[in-house]
Amino acid sequence: MKARSRFEMNHLWKIIFPLSLLLYLSGNVKSQVNPSVCRSPLGMSGRQILDEDISASSQWSESTAAKYGRLDSEEGDGAWCPESTIEPENMNEFLQIDLRSLHFITLVGTQGRHAGGIGNEFAQTYKIKYSRDGSRWISWRNRQGKEVIEGNRNAYDIVLKDLEPPIIARFVRFMPVIDHSMNVCMRVELYGCEWLDGLVSYNAPLGQEMILHDQEVYLNDSVYDGAILYSMTEGLGQLTDGMCGLDDFTLSHVYNVWPGYDYVGWTNESFPNGYVEIMFEFDRTRNFTTMKVHCNNMFSQRVKVFQKVVCYFRSDLDWEPTPVSFSPVMDDVNPSARFVTVSLQNHMASAIKCQYYFSDMWMMFSEITFQSDTAMYNTTLAPRKTGAPPNTQPGDNPVHKVDDSNTRILIGCLVAIIFILVAIIVIILWRQVWQKVLEKVSRRMLDDELTASLSIQSEAFSCNNNLTSSAPSEQESSSTYERIFPLGADYQEPSRLVRKLPDVSQVSEDTASKSPQSSTQEGVPHYAEADIVNLQGVTGGNTYAVPAVTMDLLSGKDIPIEEFPRKLLTFKEKLGEGQFGEVHLCEAEDMEEFMDKDFSFDVSENQTVLVAVKMLRADANKNARNDFLKEIKIMSRLKDPNIIRLLGVCMSSDPLCMITEYMENGDLNQFLSRHEPEGMIALLSNAPTVSYSNLQHMATQIASGMKYLSSLNFVHRDLATRNCLVGKNYTIKIADFGMSRNLYSGDYYRIQGRAVLPIRWMSWESILLGKFTTASDVWAFGVTLWETLTFCKEQPYSQLSDEQVIENTGEFFRDQRRQIYLPQPAMCPDPIYKLMLSCWHRNAKERPSFQEIHRVLLENTP
């Protein structure tokens, strides 16, 4: 069976499915819930659930309120996010849905916050609580007793989970569970159908234990959700989980459980009256037509259908004096489990009490259903659309519940069908063997689910069972669903492209607190950068990030720049150092010979020029080498008067190096720190000065260089005065030294051994969401402009600690006017400060482009 090809399986499936449908329609299946059909979305994505019925323990902001927690919806800020960071000791955040009436819920779907690429919060695990009356809340557990459900692994995929056992409830709460601090957002959907039985609880004596051939058979109600003391009260459980037991009560479809799992059973030894009384309570007064009891009848083990049942009805407060009683025909021939239908003769009631009389030593029930009014369950498969769960995937089987009135006919049919099936299977196997011999083609089994489906499917004919989860583990069934939702064009797995980025969830975390996950999750992308490939510079700095598309252009092997003879370089000083290399300031001779015609140095003939030489250590690993080559390819494409040029490379031998321009006045930060504004102080201290018009000239050049970068869709990610070099006559060229220079280590914020980030220059969305775009470069430009106009005398937000800067970022996100902006520098004219403020607009789209910035700076030239 394992080696069965998909083709053959599909073939078999095509034959089985119509047959099963035939059988399925012949049974009276509309009268009880069918978990494999009851899987329609209940209206989070489809909006049948109203905003007012969705609530939450808290919200991070108006735009992440509970009503935005709808699966597949991108409204507001894209999801529900609770206010506080969810910590292990604080797991009480929840998103609550009121379905307005009782529903049978078989499946849940969750999704994180993607928000068109800027969101990256999701719940890796969560729990579910539910309530039928809004006051008693019950924690959902799976059949193995586990409460925690595996949730999402990224912000965009929908993950569906079967609820085994299903939930019968009006209110459902999703409670994110995290084992380390992180921000969580959720979008959810519930799948199921209305609970037409209307049953709210049953009270019954505890199920008992049977010793059968020295084997213990536990006939307790293993999924009962009420109180269990001397009896079971106020709950629902196995008798309403939509799952019928097998003919042999010691067996079960459920994986890894004890014998007797599917049944609740009692022995006459403990019931001197000769009956077991079960009381059923309903949501309202109903007009009852029938009750169906699924009983075991394995008479060889002294288990039999009840001999007689007597039911009493209560409509208002009083029990009606006249009960209904019914005695099924005893069957000592056929040992199969069956539904026994009891007519309730249109009694009106909100509670029913039934006494089931023993006909042998044991009585075992696996389901009890009630039919009232004229309501019928839908049996048509829900239409398959996005957001709707698959109903016909292999592993789901229509329920085959056999009415005992039709039993004989059906048994005949069954036997015939089983014969046909066996014949078909034999033929198919035979053909397959021959095909294999002939073709010698090894067709690998594609999925195990198909095999599983076959075995369940064939068993489904011999018993009334509809269990879907005989797949060995939850994991497998969920992967099926993940496959069923193809990523849309907008969701091209950004995570594949992004590595080495810091985990955004760690940003807000106290850096001192150790997170057990952070070390194991190294390399797991949390940052949602939809279209950016990050290149980690060899010196530990990040180089320009480039759009993913241009990476194709870079994939060629050729180095598009000339080899430079190493011997012409003379070491002067070390500019910086990183994990994989160093940056040296060198003098180079005869540089002109190596340059394009369109490039001219601002030095006279035969003079040496200053160059920065970035070197890759000989022992650097392969990744670092590849990144180095990419960096060279990117740098070689940048040709602008305000961007540092790549002059040459040394690739013929180790250490690999790239040679870029350097400017005689060093970087802008140091340059301005050495200078003073024109005025009294400068006069008195005799310090060198820079006029305002020269400051503005420099800022305009930075804007111009950035305009060029942005026109190529290059994102700098670390624009700051420390990364701008100053030449003669206040010429400016933008470079990127990354964070390798000790001089500026204070400008970067280290996140738990991960990358360091220039948080004081970063936009809120870069810090919180890991989103780096031209608009975030614009933000950084605003800060750079501020630095320039304050002569770099202090760090931006110098009065705030790093943690406070990150808090301030949260205020920018919330936008409740509590965020702190950098103040207007003394010499900054109003229009320029206005320009600065516009760079820090919350909405990235409303920030000016570099073209506009460049234009405004030119227009305001003094």
Ligand X SMILES: *[C@@H]1O[C@H](CO)[C@@H](O)[C@H](O)[C@H]1NC(C)=O
Any idea which residues carry the catalytic annotation?
Answer: 718
- Give me the least distance between CB of 779 and ligand X, in Å please: 50
The helix or strand, by DSSP H or E, that contains position 810, with its residue range, turns out to be helix 802-814
**Residue 387, token pair as written in the block:** 């957001």
- Give me the least distance between CB of 394 and ligand X, in Å please: 24
Based on the shown chain and the rule CB under 6 A, indicate whether residue 313 belongs to the binding site for ligand X.
Answer: no
Residue 574 bridge partners (DSSP)? 584
Based on the shown chain and the rule CB under 6 A, indicate whether residue 506 belongs to the binding site for ligand X.
Answer: no
DSSP strand pairing (569-577 vs 209-212): unpaired
Counting every residue written for the chain, the total comes to: 862
- Give me the least distance between CB of 719 and ligand X, in Å please: 56
CA–CA separation, 248 and 792 (whole Å): 83
- Please report how many Cα atoms fall inside a 13 Å half-sphere around the Cα of residue 347, on the Cβ side: 25
- Residue 261 in 3-state DSSP? coil
| 340 φ, ψ (degrees, to nearest 5) | -105, 125
Mark 287-306 with x for binding to ligand X (rule: CB under 6 A) and - for no binding.
Answer: x-------------------
CA–CA separation, 158 and 148 (whole Å): 18
The residue (of 269 and 602) whose beta carbon lies closer to ligand X is 269
- Give me the least distance between CB of 368 and ligand X, in Å please: 18
- Give me the least distance between CB of 249 and ligand X, in Å please: 14
Smallest Cα–Cα separation from 526: which of 157, 153, 775?
A: 153
The residue (of 77 and 360) whose beta carbon lies closer to ligand X is 360
Among 62, 83, 269, 522, binds ligand X (CB under 6 A): 269
- Alpha-carbon dihedral 364, 379, 451, 297, rounded to 10 degrees: 20
The residue (of 299 and 339) whose beta carbon lies closer to ligand X is 299
CA–CA separation, 278 and 311 (whole Å): 9
Based on the shown chain and the rule CB under 6 A, indicate whether residue 377 belongs to the binding site for ligand X.
Answer: yes
Q: Give the range of 147-155, 216-224, 528-536, 747-755 binding ligand X by CB under 6 A.
A: 216-224
Contact indicator for 388, 40 with CB cutoff of 8 Å: yes
The residue (of 32 and 397) whose beta carbon lies closer to ligand X is 32
CA dihedral (553, 557, 558, 561) positive or negative: positive
- Give me the least distance between CB of 22 and ligand X, in Å please: 22
The residue (of 96 and 220) whose beta carbon lies closer to ligand X is 220
The residue (of 329 and 512) whose beta carbon lies closer to ligand X is 329
- Give me the least distance between CB of 244 and ligand X, in Å please: 19
CA–CA separation, 191 and 36 (whole Å): 11
Q: How far lies 225's CA from each of 129, 143, 293, in Å?
A: 11, 12, 20
- Give me the least distance between CB of 302 and ligand X, in Å please: 7
CA–CA separation, 628 and 623 (whole Å): 8
Among 345, 346, 579, 652, binds ligand X (CB under 6 A): 346
The residue (of 143 and 741) whose beta carbon lies closer to ligand X is 143
- Give me the least distance between CB of 477 and ligand X, in Å please: 23
Mark 271-290 with x for binding to ligand X (rule: CB under 6 A) and - for no binding.
Answer: ----------------x---
**Residue 337, token pair as written in the block:** 């489990």
Among 378, 670, 752, 860, binds ligand X (CB under 6 A): 378
Question: Quick one: residue 69, left, alpha or beta (phi over 0 = left, psi -120 to 50 = alpha)?
Answer: alpha
Based on the shown chain and the rule CB under 6 A, indicate whether residue 263 belongs to the binding site for ligand X.
Answer: no
Q: How far is CA 445 from the centre of its chain?
A: 29
Q: Give the range of 161-169, 188-196, 275-283, 543-551 binding ligand X by CB under 6 A.
A: 188-196
DSSP strand pairing (732-734 vs 724-726): antiparallel
- Give me the least distance between CB of 361 and ligand X, in Å please: 4
- Give me the least distance between CB of 297 and ligand X, in Å please: 14
Other Cβ atoms closer than 10 A to 393: 17
| 541 φ, ψ (degrees, to nearest 5) | -85, 160
Based on the shown chain and the rule CB under 6 A, indicate whether residue 193 belongs to the binding site for ligand X.
Answer: yes
Q: Which of residues 573-632 bind ligand X (CB under 6 A)?
A: none
Q: Which of residues 218-257 bind ligand X (CB under 6 A)?
A: 218, 220, 222, 224, 228
- Give me the least distance between CB of 262 and ligand X, in Å please: 12
Q: Which of residues 689-728 bind ligand X (CB under 6 A)?
A: none
Mark 109-128 with x for binding to ligand X (rule: CB under 6 A) and - for no binding.
Answer: --------------------
Smallest Cα–Cα separation from 47: which of 189, 195, 162, 194?
A: 189
Based on the shown chain and the rule CB under 6 A, indicate whether residue 360 belongs to the binding site for ligand X.
Answer: yes
Among 268, 468, 696, 721, binds ligand X (CB under 6 A): 268
Q: Give the range of 9-17, 57-65, 193-201, 408-416 binding ligand X by CB under 6 A.
A: 193-201
- Residue 580 in 3-state DSSP? coil
Mark 379-398 with x for binding to ligand X (rule: CB under 6 A) and - for no binding.
Answer: --------------------
Q: How far is CA 153 from the centre of its chain?
A: 4
The residue (of 39 and 847) whose beta carbon lies closer to ligand X is 39
Q: How far is CA 703 from the centre of its chain?
A: 39
The residue (of 313 and 749) whose beta carbon lies closer to ligand X is 313
- Residue 584 in 3-state DSSP? strand
Question: Quick one: residue 39, left, alpha or beta (phi over 0 = left, psi -120 to 50 = alpha)?
Answer: alpha
Residue found by looking up tokens 């398959």 in the block: 384
Based on the shown chain and the rule CB under 6 A, indicate whether residue 258 belongs to the binding site for ligand X.
Answer: yes
The residue (of 32 and 773) whose beta carbon lies closer to ligand X is 32
Label residues 362-386 b or e (16+ Cβ within 10 Å = b): bbbbbbbbbbbeeeebeeebbeeee
**Residue 460, token pair as written in the block:** 């489904």
The residue (of 193 and 762) whose beta carbon lies closer to ligand X is 193
The residue (of 307 and 819) whose beta carbon lies closer to ligand X is 307
Based on the shown chain and the rule CB under 6 A, indicate whether residue 407 belongs to the binding site for ligand X.
Answer: no
Give the neighbor-by-neighbor strand order of the sheet with 609-616: 569-577, 581-588, 609-616, 657-661, 646-650
Q: Give the range of 79-87, 191-199, 601-609, 751-759 binding ligand X by CB under 6 A.
A: 191-199
Contact indicator for 755, 762 with CB cutoff of 8 Å: no
- Give me the least distance between CB of 498 and ligand X, in Å please: 42
CA–CA separation, 639 and 641 (whole Å): 7
Among 194, 367, 396, 403, binds ligand X (CB under 6 A): 194
How many residues interact with ligand X (rule CB under 6 A)?
A: 18
- Please report how many Cα atoms fall inside a 13 Å half-sphere around the Cα of residue 300, on the Cβ side: 10
Among 128, 196, 498, 725, binds ligand X (CB under 6 A): 196
Among 148, 361, 428, 827, binds ligand X (CB under 6 A): 361
Based on the shown chain and the rule CB under 6 A, indicate whether residue 59 belongs to the binding site for ligand X.
Answer: no
DSSP strand pairing (215-218 vs 569-577): unpaired
The residue (of 287 and 621) whose beta carbon lies closer to ligand X is 287
Q: Which of residues 421-480 bind ligand X (CB under 6 A)?
A: none
CA–CA separation, 188 and 161 (whole Å): 11
- Please report how many Cα atoms fall inside a 13 Å half-sphere around the Cα of residue 173, on the Cβ side: 23
* Residues at the contact surface with ligand X, assessed by CB under 6 A: 193-194, 196, 218, 220, 222, 224, 228, 258, 268-269, 287, 346, 348, 360-361, 377-378
